[in-house]
Amino acid sequence: MNDAFSMLEAVKTALMITGDFMDETIQLFIEETQNYLLSAGVPKTLVESKKCVGVIARGVSDLWNYGNGSTGLSPYFKERVIQLSLEEEEDGIQTQTTEF
C-alpha cells in the first residue's frame, strides 16, 4: 500500500471526483491555486501539505466554475488564503500565530 500524499487525489476526493479523465485539467487548476497561495505569502511547505487540501479544493472548484460564467474566487477561498498567509513556520512545522 502506498501512503504517499497526492494533492491531486486528495482534491479529487474532496470534490467527489472519480476516474482520471479530467486529471490534467484538475492538476492545472491545483497548480494555479498553489501559485496563488505562494504569491499571497503562504509558505511552500504549507502549500504542499494536507492542511491546504480544503482551500486548494475550493480554489479548483472556483476556477472550474469561473469558466462556466462565475464571477471569480469565493469569499471563503480569499479569507482562508489570508489566514494561511499569517501562519509562521517553526522548525519545519506550521503554527498559527494568535495574539490577543
Residues 6+ apart with CB under 8 A from 24: none
d(CA 41, CA 89) in angstroms, rounded, equals: 12
95 within domain boundaries = no
1 within domain boundaries = no
- The tens place of each residue's pLDDT in the chain, 100 residues long, gives 456 889 999 999 999 999 999 999 999 999 999 999 999 999 999 999 999 999 999 999 999 887 666 678 999 999 999 999 998 765 455 555 545 4
pLDDT of residue 65: 85
98 within domain boundaries = no
pLDDT of residue 88: 73
Q: Which domain holds residue 54?
A: 7-89
* Predicted TM-score of the model (pTM): 0.82
24 within domain boundaries = yes
Q: What angle do CA 44, 49, 54 make, to 5 degrees?
A: 110
Number of independent structural domains in the chain: 1
What is the C-alpha R_g of the chain?
14
pLDDT of residue 96: 56
d(CA 35, CA 91) in angstroms, rounded, equals: 23
Q: Enter the DSSP assignment of 22.
A: T
